[in-house]
Amino acid sequence: MQSANTKSAGKMVVLGIQHVFAMFGSTVLVPILTGLDPAMALLCAGLGTLIFHLVTGGKVPAFLGSSFAFIAAICTVAADASGNAALGSAEYMEGLRYACGGIIVAGALYLVLAGLVMLFGADKIRSFFPPLVTGAIIIIIGLMLAPTAISNITTATNPATGASEALTGGALWINWLIAAITIGAMFFVSIRGRGFFKLVPILIGIAVGYCAALICQLLGANVFGSPLVDFSKLTTSSWIQLPHFMGPLFSWKAILTIAPLSIVTFVEHVGDMQANGAVVGRDFIKDPGLHRTLLGDGLATMVAGALGGPANTTYSENTGVLAATRNYNPTTLRIAAVFAIIIAFCGKISAFLQTLPAAVMGGISIILFGMIAAVGLRTLVENQVDFKSSRNLMIIAVMM
């Protein structure tokens, strides 16, 4: 019996690590673009996920990560507060503290929204999101993320200019080849795999794509003269690192710039909960309740702002992983959260994950983001939405 339990525990750990691989790129991309600390973003993602599961009674298989919706606002506030100082400068970092204050208020606004949902009832909120609307929202979430997947394959940072530039010629073809091999591996395992292998198509796809990139690199392939798999950070990073804590500062200008975004992400949150429910086959809006999921999201965002991390949100990538693996055990997500926290303090692991070729993550993302859009289509089909109705067509057309 103990041997079986050990095998089961090992299986859960591997599945949890798979979730971390799936969300890692997006979670650290937000701090990279805004100037925040990637290690702190990972710490906040892990802590935020554990807070979310505590508030929701551990019923929702969700992972919280850095929200893309706040990127522009964070950069705007930091630039304004620092007098348009350069990204990464001491003045800019001081300006980011005001952005963190705005993030805390944005999280508090989530708590207000949770109170309103509890007051008026989830059914009242649900009436504004019939299957026609929720299906379209889920499709839109997947389609909005799609350009990120493609840009991982078709663009790269040019070391000579420091800017992201479009790839051409052989480098572009190599990237598409690596992405195609990654996608092919996921397809094969998902369709032909048996037993445990069928549950880890993402890890296998990443491993196969990683090996393909190494082989291409040995044959002389490169991107703007840089290696496809760059081990430089792995050799220079330390085993133990402390995330950069940054105490928040508050100003009305920063708050009014960042906090209203909670209204936008509220709609995204409802869509994510509907998408997760559609994949798992449960109504999370009803149980544990939309007010609890909003409360968990809000508290996680407030903690992130207080520590110096980006705003948290229920991650759409997580929905794609659930659909791809059909593993819906929330314990897996809590294991992923713990692993994210460990990575935040371990420079070597974080650096290794950063060696993952962008083309590999692009191939994985094509599948995951496509899965999200496919779940939206399934929502429309299963609820027999009438596309012969001019009203329905107009609503979906405007949303799209």
DSSP of 206-253: HHHHHHHHHHHHHTT--BTTB-SS--HHHHHS-SB-----------HH
Q: What is the mean pLDDT of residues 85-108?
A: 91
**Distance, CA of 248 to CA of 261 (rounded, Å):** 18
The answer on pLDDT for 398 being more than 60 is yes
Q: Could you report the per-residue pLDDT of 116-157, keeping only the tens digit for each?
A: 999 888 777 777 778 888 888 888 878 887 888 898 899 887
pLDDT band with cut points at 50, 70 and 90 for residue 1: very low
For residue 8, pLDDT over 50 is answered with: yes
How much is the average pLDDT of 104-123? 91
pLDDT confidence of residue 23: 82
Do 52 and 71 contact (CB within 8 A), yes or no?
no
Give per-residue pLDDT as tens, 55-77.
Answer: 999 999 999 988 878 888 898 89
Closest by CA to 143, choosing from 370, 399, 396, 317, is 370
The residue that leads in pLDDT, 172 or 84, is: 172
Question: Using one digit for the tens of pLDDT, what is the confidence trace for 172-200?
Answer: 999 999 999 999 999 998 888 777 777 78
Predicted local confidence at residue 29, as pLDDT: 76
pLDDT at 296: 96
Cα 55 vs. chain centroid, distance in angstroms? 20
pLDDT digits (tens, 9 = 90+) for 242-255: 898 988 999 999 99
Q: What percent of the chain has pLDDT over 90?
A: 38
Predicted pLDDT of residue 249: 94
Q: Which residue spans within the chain are E strands per DSSP?
A: 64-66, 155-158, 163-166, 312-314
- Residues 337-355 pLDDT 10s: 999 999 999 988 888 887 8
User: Which of 74, 91, 90, 73 minimizes the C-alpha distance to 82?
Assistant: 91
- Has residue 2 got a pLDDT over 50? no
- On the question of pLDDT at 3 being above 70, the answer is no
Average pLDDT over residues 263-270: 82
Q: CA–CA distance from 82 to each of 99, 102, 246 (Å)?
A: 11, 15, 15
Average pLDDT, the chain: 87
Check pLDDT > 50 for residue 307.
yes
Q: Is the pLDDT of residue 206 over 60?
A: yes
Ramachandran angles phi, psi of 158, nearest 5°:
-85, 115
What pLDDT does 141 receive? 78
What's the pLDDT at 183? 95
Q: What is the pLDDT of residue 301?
A: 96
Choose from 162-166, 303-307, 369-373 the range with maximum mean pLDDT: 303-307
Q: How confident is the model at residue 6 (pLDDT cuts 50, 70, 90)?
A: low
Assigned token pair, 337: 């959260």
pTM across the whole model: 0.81
CB within 8 Å of 55: residues ≥ 6 apart: 292, 293, 295, 296, 299
Q: How many CA atoms lie within 13 A of 233 on its CB side?
A: 14
CA-to-CA separations, 315 to 2, 61, 274, in angstroms, rounded: 34, 11, 13
Q: With beta carbons less than 8 A apart as the criterion, state whether 72 and 297 touch.
A: no
CA 214/CA 211 separation, integer angstroms: 5
Q: Among residues 214, 109, 217, 134, which one has the least CA distance to residue 395?
A: 134
- Tokens for 8, please give them: 């089961």
Specify the DSSP class assigned to residue 103.
Answer: H
What's the rounded mean pLDDT across residues 298-314?
94
> What six digits make up the tokens of 11?
């299986």
Please determine, for residue 306, whether its predicted confidence score (pLDDT) is greater than 60.
yes
List CB contacts of 327: < 8 A, sequence separation 6 or more: 15, 199
Q: What is the pLDDT of residue 309?
A: 94
- Please report the pLDDT score of residue 254 as a whole number: 93
